[in-house]
A and B are shown apart, each in its own frame.
Chain A
């Protein structure tokens, strides 16, 4: 079945890099996403990667995809206190539009 797993908690110091990991089970996934959710708010699309890519960089964000191991990671460089939020990994299947979300990783940034 379809499943997306991620660690539930990550704590880093301000200025350090954060790495949030995610594994998925469905090899037919075509798009993989990272969303950010701040308290009491909806989800904000941070970045996404096509399944035929290995890496995507967007300013402080770097997404790495290991399709063989079905492993996705999000690296946030120079993490700031404003990055404290819940980060959701998600996958979508072409044509179905059904998005499968992980449980979310709570990132705490200590000043």
Chain B
């Protein structure tokens, strides 16, 4: 099956710093990538949808200036958590899909801890 690589797997940072998370599709072109946030023992919360070469579409309640998403190529999307605070600590997961394909392939997730 298709492989989506997400890095880093975990990151610890100080409050006020920015953190970048990468999501790469290794063996297919991902026309659409999705970013989710997951709190302990809860389901995935869709944060935003990004299409290659265009601005991301954010879900209601998600701060676009806080969570910067870039999808500059068909194989790479990045999520930058700017000026991170302890309440941003969470598990972030990306997924990717191919053009006209209804299957989603997920990265392994990034555990962010903000001190």
Contact residues of A with B, CB < 8 Å?
A: 30-31, 33, 35, 40-45, 48, 88, 92, 94, 97-99, 101-104, 106
- Contact across chains for B46 and A98 when beta carbons are under 8 A apart: yes
Instruction: Determine the chain A residues whose CB is within 8 A of the CB of B42 once the complex forms.
Output: 103-104
- Report how far A106 CA is from B42 CA in the complex, Å: 11
Q: Please count the residue pairs between chain A and chain B whose beta carbons lie under 8 angstroms apart in the complex.
A: 51
- Contact across chains for A97 and B43 when beta carbons are under 8 A apart: no
B75 within 8 A of A: no
A-B contact pairs, 16 of them (CB 8 A): A30-B102, A33-B104, A40-B109, A41-B108, A42-B4, A42-B6, A42-B93, A43-B95, A45-B105, A48-B103, A92-B102, A92-B104, A97-B97, A99-B34, A99-B46, A101-B43
Instruction: Determine the chain A residues whose CB is within 8 A of the CB of B61 once the complex forms.
Output: none
